[in-house]
Amino acid sequence: MFSHFVGIPMMGHSIKLPQRITDTREMLVSLLGVSPQQVDDKLGMVRGTSIRLKWLRSKFSNVTDSTLDRCIQCAARTYLLYLVGCTLFSDKSGTRISIDYLKLFEDLGQVSSNAWGAAALAYMYRHLGYASRDGVKHIAGYLPLLEVLVNPSHF
């Protein structure tokens, strides 16, 4: 049902995030095609190892058909990181995404073989657990999925 609702695969390779990435700067430079100075500026503006979705959106918005293939691949990774940051793996702020997720888009040829729906479901369940704690006022995750699980007859 979820795959019909969202259009992403439930079956496939398990998605496992690596432990904290230590070479964040180098990874952003090589996989997103941004300058080291841009990385230093953007990482200094956010807490930890997350990046603002607004900045990511500005990085892929100017790509055209005449752009070099390497730049198109970097833009595709940027777009995918932006997309999962806005939907499947959104945080409570709704404005940032952990750079750790970029590792999932290193090999663009493997992206479609991953079980994105299962990962989104696991992420949402983890954040439902966090949200159930005393004093917590917000929730993260892909909440339309929660609607489907609560009332599947509407979909």
pLDDT at 18: 66
Q: Which residue reads 């777009």 in tokens? A: 79
pLDDT values of the chain reduced to their tens digit, one per residue, 155 residues: 555 556 777 788 888 876 666 678 888 899 999 888 888 777 765 556 788 899 899 888 888 888 888 889 999 999 999 999 998 898 888 888 988 899 999 999 999 999 988 888 888 888 889 888 999 888 888 888 777 777 666 55
Q: Which residue reads 């990962």 in tokens? A: 119
Cα 121 to Cα 2: distance, rounded to the nearest angstrom: 9
pLDDT at 109: 93
In the chain, where the domains are located: 2-154
pLDDT at 64: 81
**In angstroms, how far is the first alpha carbon of the chain from the final one?**
8
Residue 57 carries which side chain, given as an amino acid letter? R
pLDDT at 17: 74
Cα 87 to Cα 11: distance, rounded to the nearest angstrom: 19
